Amino acid sequence: MQKYEEKSPLIRTNKSSFSIFSFFNSLLFKPSLSYSERSIHLSGRTLPSKFVPNVVCNQKYSLITFIPKVLFDQFSNFFNFFYLIVALFQLIPELRTGPLFTYIAPLLLVLSITIGKEAIDDFKRYKRDKEFNNKKYRKITRNGIQEIRSSDIKVGDLIEINTNDRIPADILFLRTNDPTGTVFVRTDQLDGETDWKVKRALGITQHLETLDDIFSLEIIANIEGPKKDIYVFNGTIQYYEQNITSSFNPDDSGSFFNSQISVGNLSAANLEKNISEYGAGTAIQPVVEPLMLDNTIWANSVLTCGKIYGLVIYTGIESRSLMNTCTKSLRTKVGLLDNQVNTLSKILFLLLIITSFVLVFCKGFDTLWYVSFARFMLLLSSIIPISLRVNLEMAKIVFSSQINNDKNMKSVTVRSSIPEELGRIDYLLTDKTGTLTQNYMIVQTLHIGHAIFHQENFSEIVDALQYVQKGRVNIEKEERIIIDTMDNIPTFPIISSNPTIWNNSNNTLHLQNFMLGIALCHNIFPRSSIDANLSNENRNNSAEDILDNNLGSDECMVDLNQKHIVYQSSSPDEIALINFAASLGLRLVSRSNENMDLDLEKLYLGDHLRNSMESGLYKNEKN
Residue 403 is predicted with a pLDDT of 86
Q: What is the mean pLDDT of the chain?
A: 72
Is 498 or 226 the better-scoring residue by pLDDT?
226
Winning range, highest mean pLDDT, from 259-268, 350-359, 572-581? 350-359
Residue 33 is predicted with a pLDDT of 56
CB 490 within 8 A of CB 481: yes
Residue 119 pLDDT more than 80? yes
- The pLDDT tens digits of the residues spanning 508-550 come to 667 777 888 888 888 888 876 555 444 444 344 433 343 333 3
Residue 590 is predicted with a pLDDT of 81
Residue 278 is predicted with a pLDDT of 37
Residue 243 is predicted with a pLDDT of 54
Q: Give the CATH fold of the 24-54+153-328 domain.
A: 2.70.150
Residue 18 pLDDT more than 70? no
CB 396 within 8 A of CB 341: no
Residue 290's DSSP bridge partners are: 236
Residue 298 pLDDT more than 90? yes
Q: Strand runs (DSSP E) across 542-582, as ranges?
A: 565-568
The dihedral through the CA atoms of 610, 612, 614, 615 has a sign that is: negative
Residue 255 pLDDT more than 70? no
Phi and psi angles of residue 159, each rounded to the nearest 5 degrees, phi first: -120, 155
Residue 280 pLDDT more than 80? no
Percent share of the chain, pLDDT over 90: 12
Winning range, highest mean pLDDT, from 210-214, 398-402, 504-508? 398-402
531 is catalytic: no
- Rounded CA-CA distance 127/352 in Å is 46
Residue 44 pLDDT more than 90? no
Residue 87 is predicted with a pLDDT of 87
| Distance between start and end Cα atoms, the chain | 47
Residue 10 pLDDT more than 80? no
- What is the edge-to-edge ordering of all strands in the sheet holding 136-141? 144-149, 136-141, 158-161, 308-314, 170-176, 296-297
Residue 257 pLDDT more than 50? no
C-alpha R_g of the chain: 35
Residue 340 pLDDT more than 70? yes
Catalytic option among 229, 366, 431, 607: 431
- The pLDDT tens digits of the residues spanning 546-571 come to 333 333 323 233 343 445 777 877 77
Q: In the structure, what pLDDT confidence band is assigned to residue 326 with cuts at 50, 70 and 90?
A: low
Residue 293 is predicted with a pLDDT of 92
Residue 437 is predicted with a pLDDT of 65
Q: Label the pairing between strands 261-263 and 136-141.
A: unpaired
Sorted by where each begins, the domain ranges of the chain are 24-54+153-328, 66-128+333-424, 445-621
- The pLDDT tens digits of the residues spanning 195-254 come to 788 899 988 888 788 888 887 778 889 999 888 888 999 999 888 755 554 444 444 433
Q: Of 65-79, 206-220, 326-340, which range is least confident?
A: 326-340
CB atoms within 10 A of CB 413: 18
Q: What does the DSSP assignment read for 27-41?
A: HHSPPPP----EEEE
Residue 304 pLDDT more than 70? yes
- The pLDDT tens digits of the residues spanning 402-438 come to 888 888 877 877 777 788 888 888 887 776 655 566 6
CB 208 within 8 A of CB 175: yes
Residue 598 pLDDT more than 90? no
Residues in the chain: 623
Residue 152 is predicted with a pLDDT of 92
Query: What's the predicted TM-score (pTM) here?
Result: 0.67
Is 36 or 493 the better-scoring residue by pLDDT?
36
- Rounded CA-CA distance 180/183 in Å is 9
Residue 137's DSSP bridge partners are: 148
Q: What does the DSSP assignment read for 194-237?
A: -S-EEEE--HHHHTBSSGGGGGG---EEEEPPP-S-TT---EEE
Percent share of the chain, pLDDT over 70: 68
Residue 6 is predicted with a pLDDT of 38
- Taking phi over 0 as left and psi of -120 to 50 as alpha, with beta for the rest, 312 belongs to beta
Closest CA to 40 of 267, 259, 377, 313: 313
Residue 311 is predicted with a pLDDT of 92
